[in-house]
Amino acid sequence: MQHQLFSGLRGVDPGLENWGVKRAPFIVLVATDMPAILAEVGCLSNDREAAMLRRTDYRQQIAQALFDGIHEYAGGTRTQQKKGT
């Protein structure tokens, strides 16, 4: 997912930084019996990011990158990992 988000949005946001994957015991992630992610796609207190998030085309590109990541995961193109690893 993180790879798809970064590669899918890098073209429209050349200043995008790859912060990698972080792990945390958020209840929305650990209290489920299915694969789960929490994707941070922007920060409204950052003027540049807030301006980009107001653009319909940018939000669509975020949605497409998320879809591509889910599709790749569901298609089994990567080895499955135990939840939380």
Per-residue confidence in pLDDT tens, the chain, 85 aa: 898 999 989 988 888 888 889 888 999 888 999 888 999 888 999 999 999 999 999 999 999 999 999 999 888 655 555 555 4
pLDDT given at position 56:
97
Query: What is the identity of the amino acid at 16?
Result: L
For residues 60 and 54, the answer to whether their CB atoms sit within 8 Å is no
pLDDT given at position 15:
84
Nearest-angstrom CA–CA distance, 32 and 25: 12
pLDDT given at position 23:
87
Task: Retrieve residue 65's tokens.
Answer: 């990158």
Please report, to the nearest 10 degrees, the dihedral formed by the alpha carbons of residues 67, 68, 69, 70 taken in order: 50
pLDDT given at position 79:
53
Question: Whole-model pTM?
Answer: 0.77
